[in-house]
A and B are shown apart, each in its own frame.
Chain A
């Protein structure tokens, strides 16, 4: 390769010329050789060679595949149509389709600024006040698991970071164990387990015929998995489908998991966003814990506190004894240290302040209800619009049955493309729309788009 020949010439030059230059002489010059540039400069009696490198050792590195969801936002930004609608990424928008910073967050940040908190490193496990608040929010402050100190909580970088810590724990202590994830699930789940070197496979979840839950398939697949499999469950507001098991179905799922000696691993990214009630949305997790199962739970405050960019969440391991929880926590810390040493402080303090200050906590609950309420209203309006416009007799009630930020419309890839190309409605190719990006004012337009795409495109 060119560079090595250049280097060998350079070395020859050095050995030839070294003796002919005295200490006090300086010699600077440039010579072009085969596309690269040799520069000679000398300092203190030796010649130092400067060679512009031809070949990088990262020559063969290809572009990584673009993230499908972020790609949607980019395409939306580039679109000049007035009618355009961004139903891609799951970030909450107001009725005016603006980002929303919660009032309690502003208040908490003002408090923090006034206090002039220092910026010291957090301990590896994160802010103690946050860890306490987050576990109590998840399980309820009077939960026996908390009282008995059986919960190991470590602050994580939002949902992703917390999932990754859990995955790393599985990889280290359950080598060969698999994770069962729903078909479909949030795209990044697969990346997280792949990069953590944890094998995964899927359990049936979405039934396109009913645009609902394939419950029988789900149970069958969980039963069929080898004993000791980790089963990844969405605590509420399933992403991307918006389809949650009913309370009865949750009980059956818990039964099967317990019978097969599997370990439930919950991803709780929308606590409060599904029903509007923080407690109600934690019901599935609390059921499993009440059954006496040992459970992993990853939490995120990106959506429910609007803290997307602050990266605040937690990894919780509820185990059978406090002694076990202590050991597990120490190992989670050990995994975190070579990833980032200790987690970022800002988001943790916001959450701790909001949850720990009764007035702010109440205000948060109200804002949570408002956000979830807006989405429920939008669902209703969308359903009403479609039902009144569509004369085909198709049952669109799944829109009302689904819950949370997302809705699986049942549109296929071609139909989704039609939504974008013809109607300037931006969504993901799997037919998912983010209701958080929909306003009441745009429901009629969206209804037209969906009806057209469903009936006129195959």
Chain B
């Protein structure tokens, strides 16, 4: 009270009077609590804060080279130099976007795909994979307000946030079998059969995140068949095309099986990982339709949704991807670089497993090489994960997902040793008990 009187005496402007009158006013944001930290971000921050010289970051799924450095493919560097020489006028933005979408769907569905040739799809550029998923979730809510989304258990945690934020209830279906550290196929099929007809399902077509466990071709065909019987809607989130096998077409096989079987799928594509364009937020959402008239209608609705979210997508990444995919030389180079990246990860898998076996670990580590893509679902317990962090300065997701991209020839021995230590200790502890 006294403080306010002093202040008001010092300032004679109207501004001051107002300031005083607000001092006692309430803070609008008092009710706003601190948000929980995103788990991946938390891991990353802890890693960055750690001063230990031999620390290892196996948290976020961004590709690293053999020296543990971020890696920008050569084709991307070349494309950067090229587009810098001319910068696009806004009037051509929509032309570039159309070209981008065309190249993206060719990549996913196949150059000679019927749906691509006939234009039986609604496609728009999106803010990477997240943006594509969110756009579809909003679209789903607009036209199927009472629907739910069935997500694999486990899945990328942000899938849950995305559909929840779009106000679509989330259900999960069986996927990971912790006993075999493989796919729980029977339970998966059972869940597909038991879901109400015409349910929306999200599937990872390759390099499942976080488990690295993909169905076989046979299993995919069975899933597709069951989806047909139940008239389910398959939504694919393809964030790692090229990272499973090193071959872009092979990695799209599951998607193409469904399309061949006549499903009118939805697809989220991301170029964050396979082109190293993380920060540029380049992705594509496509929804297959019966005819081009419907494709135009669906596209217009998707545009309407993102128009009120961010008006239009950022052009830089779109330019890069379009240039790389539409230039045969660049595209070839990119395919080579993907193979290199995928092979490096596979080599690290092999080395890690061999090291553990050489240490005479009594556990089976074959899941390390059975799983594909960037991630390894190690099967470590939460306590073991904590121990690895505290004692060995090795950081991974709380669910014990290891980003193999963070494993290098120079740290793989240290990693193997550390994993061996924590699992041996746990075993000994449990034996004593």
- A residues adjacent to B (C-beta < 8 A): 4, 7, 11, 43-44, 46, 48-67, 73, 91, 99, 101, 105-106, 109-110, 113, 116, 118-124, 156-161, 164, 173, 188, 191-192, 194-196, 251, 254-255, 258, 261, 263, 287, 290-294, 308-312, 317, 319-321, 324, 326-328, 330-331, 333-335, 337-347
Contact = CB atoms under 8 A, between A and B. Distances in A.
Contacts of A310: 314-316
B198 interface: yes
A119 B70 contact: yes
Interface residues of B, number: 95
A191 B296 contact: no
Contact of B294 (A58, A120, A258, A343): A58
Given A55-B290, A160-B309, A290-B15, A333 B35 contact: yes
Contacts of A173: 29, 31-32
A157 B298 contact: no
Contact of A341 (B32, B84, B128): B128
Contacts of A67: 307
A121 B62 contact: yes
B427 interface: no
B228 A339 contact: no
Contact of A120 (B81, B134, B162, B279): B279
Contacts of B307: 67, 160, 188, 191
B34 interface: yes
Interface in B20-39: 21-23, 25, 27-38
Contacts of B263: 53
| A55, A251, A311, A343, most chain B CB atoms within 10 A | A311
A119 B276 contact: yes
B77 interface: yes
Contact of B32 (A53, A196, A331): A331
B229 A345 contact: no
B169 to A, nearest CB: 15
Given A120-B279, A258-B22, A261-B25, A157 B314 contact: yes
Interface string B158-177: 10011011100000000000
B21 A321 contact: no
A261 B25 CA distance: 9
A79 B80 CA distance: 35
Contact of A309 (B22, B32, B297, B315): B315
Contact of A121 (B37, B60, B297): B60
20 contacts: A7-B231, A57-B198, A65-B304, A99-B91, A119-B76, A164-B308, A191-B307, A251-B14, A258-B21, A292-B18, A294-B27, A309-B93, A320-B27, A320-B29, A327-B34, A330-B34, A334-B38, A339-B309, A341-B127, A344-B314
Nearest to A293: B22
A51 to B, nearest CB: 5
B186 interface: no
A287 B15 CA distance: 8
B279 A119 contact: yes
A344 B308 contact: no
Interface string B276-308: 111111000001011000101110110111011
Interface of B: 14-15, 18-19, 21-23, 25, 27-38, 41, 60, 62, 70, 72, 76-77, 80-81, 84, 87-91, 93, 127-128, 130-131, 134, 138, 143-144, 158, 161-162, 164-166, 198, 218, 221-222, 224-225, 228-229, 231, 233, 260-264, 272, 276-281, 287, 289-290, 294, 296-298, 300-301, 303-305, 307-317
Contacts of A60: 143
Given A157-B310, A290-B15, 15 more contacts: A50-B261, A52-B262, A58-B298, A61-B143, A118-B70, A164-B308, A173-B29, A290-B19, A309-B88, A309-B90, A319-B28, A327-B29, A330-B35, A339-B127, A346-B280
Nearest to B80: A113
Contacts of B281: 340-345
B310 A158 contact: yes
A56 B292 CA distance: 12
A345 B279 contact: yes
B278 A121 contact: yes
Contacts of A124: 38, 41
B351 to A, nearest CB: 25
A116 B77 contact: yes
A346 B311 contact: no
B294 A340 contact: no
B309 to A, nearest CB: 5
A61 B298 contact: yes
B316 A160 contact: no
A120 B262 contact: no
B261 A48 contact: yes
Contacts of A258: 18, 21-22
Nearest to A162: B310
A346 B38 CA distance: 24
A99 B314 contact: no
Nearest to A309: B315
Nearest to A163: B308
Given A56-B264, A324-B27, A327-B34, A255 B18 contact: yes
A324 to B, nearest CB: 5
A337 B277 contact: no
A348 B76 CA distance: 19
A337 B77 contact: no
Contacts of B297: 58, 61-64
A64 B297 CA distance: 7
Contact of B131 (A331, A333, A339): A339
Contacts of A293: 22
B316 A56 contact: no
B279 A294 contact: no
